[in-house]
Amino acid sequence: MFDLGTEWLTRNGVGFLLPSFRVMLASAAGPGSNDPLELDLLDASLDDGERWVRSELWRLRAGEELRRGNTAHGIELLERGIALAQGQGALLLVERSTATLTEVRS
């Protein structure tokens, strides 16, 4: 569904929220299932109106770091994402990153 949404936005020249849709598509794939370079490009493409998904993007980037064995950096990204989501009052994103962090630490 998100694939269709991003295709429609691109085809119709609508750039607003396109990075957010791409983050949600990457989120559906799950942590450890995305190209780290694509995640970096997505992070760079988020503008002020879309910063609400940055903590989810950091959770996905953490998954890639953990998959590569970079546990310390993965944990750092998760902790940064939790702090950001808490500051934004995004409780669902706090819970998602906290669950991933708990899994890593267990």
d(CA 103, CA 106): 5
> Which pLDDT band holds residue 90 (cuts at 50, 70, 90)?
very high
On the CB side of 87, CA atoms within 13 Å amount to 11
d(CA 3, CA 22): 8
d(CA 60, CA 93): 12
Domain at 2-105, CATH class: mainly alpha
Would you kindly state where each structural domain of the chain is located, as residue ranges?
2-105
Express as a percent the part of the chain with pLDDT over 90: 48
Higher-confidence position of 103 and 19? 103
d(CA 94, CA 19): 20
Higher-confidence position of 5 and 1? 5
Q: What is the pLDDT of residue 11?
A: 82
For 39, list phi and psi in degrees, rounded to 5.
-65, -40
For residues 37 and 60, the answer to whether their CB atoms sit within 8 Å is no
**pLDDT (mean) for 62-74:** 94
Structure tokens, 86: 């808490």
> Which pLDDT band holds residue 68 (cuts at 50, 70, 90)?
very high
The structure's pTM equals 0.76
